[in-house]
Amino acid sequence: MMKTISSKLAAVALSLGALATPAIAGRGGSNGQITSAVSSGSVDAIIAEVERAEGLLCPDCVSTVRSLLSHDRFEVRQVAAWWFAKRPGLREQTATQFKQVLVTGAALDVRNAADFLGRVRQYDALPALRTAIVRGDLSAEAKIAIVRAVGYMAHIDGNGILLTAMGDADATVRTAAIVAWRDILGQVSVTPIVPKLSDSDARVRAEAATVVGAYGERSGLSQLEVLVTSDPDPFVRRNAAWALGQIGSVDAFAALTTASSDKSGIVRNVAKAALATLR
């Protein structure tokens, strides 16, 4: 399947740029230089050479850069997607293929597809991402890529995907969904985040506290007071103290006063700063 896709993409590139010559195209890059960078194994070299070929009309580059969309390093997959985004015809054809991969592909292929679609902000991929997130056969890595794609798009229609991800069994997926929820443009409510203040995982609780505080969500006040005084994780307590300061309710005075004597210096300092905002 991948050979067929690459052949089709190369044909599109030929039709768009058959008359171009390396001497005047791009920024001095070439397929050979990209290939050499890939062979070197250096992520920095790969990124540099793909970026140098930003405007290069190079049919031979298509299959080379296409292979980087499945690289094991996220940074490389992203620069490869960026290169395709500069070429609308190739971007659309690749996006069409990857939307189907989200529905039927293996977990690793879903990861690659989601990273591409998110990076090029392919908004019409949201329905396919919505289908993918409820698949029962995906790895946490693949689901994180789906969530990350929604975060990159920052479209309000991605909320349903994030809500599903917030209920995932894997804490890293839940954490990623909370982060993405915060970044959605036009987000009007963070009430779905409030229950995550009681999550079993400290990373989830810490991130939830940050988002609840950033939005000044008063419905999370009582749980934040519990966290700042009794959570076993100092980063959760610190974030809860910060959130209480952002909400700015005098009702949090007692909890923040207690936290200002916390055994952790980072918690004490943030709690004291939060207390100052209440006065």
Q: Is residue 79 part of a domain?
A: no
Residue 80 lies in a domain: no
**Which pLDDT does position 29 carry in this prediction?**
85
Is the model's pLDDT at 161 over the cut of 60? Answer: yes
pLDDT value of residue 73: 97
pLDDT above 90 coverage of the chain, percent: 86
The first and second tokens of residue 78, run together, are 């992203």
Domain annotation covers residue 179: no
Range from 11-25, 55-69, 137-151, 204-218 carrying the lowest mean pLDDT:
11-25
pLDDT digits (tens, 9 = 90+) for 66-82: 999 999 999 999 999 99
pLDDT of residue 18: 36
pLDDT for 27 equals 57
**Which residues 6+ apart lie within 8 Å of 15 measured at CB?**
none
Cβ atoms 78, 52 nearer than 8 A: no
Domain containing 208 equals 189-279
- Taking residues 45-74, report their average pLDDT: 95
Residue 28 pLDDT > 80:
no
Percent of the chain surpassing pLDDT 70:
90
Same domain, 194 and 277: yes
**pLDDT tens digit string along 219-272?**
999 999 999 999 999 999 999 999 999 999 999 999 999 999 999 999 999 999
pLDDT tops 70 at residue 25: no
For residue 254, the model assigns a pLDDT of 96
Evaluate whether residue 76 is within a structural domain: no
- Residue 239 has a CB neighbour count (10 Å cut-off) of 27
In the chain, count of helices (H) and strands (E)?
A: 16, 0
Task: Encode burial over 259-271: b for 16+ CB neighbours within 10 A, e otherwise.
Answer: bbebeeeebbebb
Query: Coil, strand or helix: which one is 42?
Result: coil
Q: Is residue 37 part of a domain?
A: yes
Among 169, 198, 214, the domain-final residue is 169
Same-domain pairing of 7 and 53: yes
- 65 and 92 in a common domain: no
174 belongs to a structural domain: no
Alpha helix locations (H) across 120-248?
126-133, 140-153, 159-166, 171-183, 202-214, 221-230, 234-247
Q: What is the pLDDT of residue 127?
A: 98
Look up residue 218 and give its two tokens.
């008063």
CA dist., res. 219 & res. 240, Å (int) = 14
In a domain, 14, yes or no: yes
- Dmax of the chain from CA atoms? 73
Tokens 């001095």, residue located: 28
Structural domain count, the chain? 3
Q: What is the pLDDT of residue 279?
A: 62
pTM score, two decimals?
0.86
Match 């070929």 to its residue by tokens: 53
Residue 19 has pLDDT above 60, yes or no: no
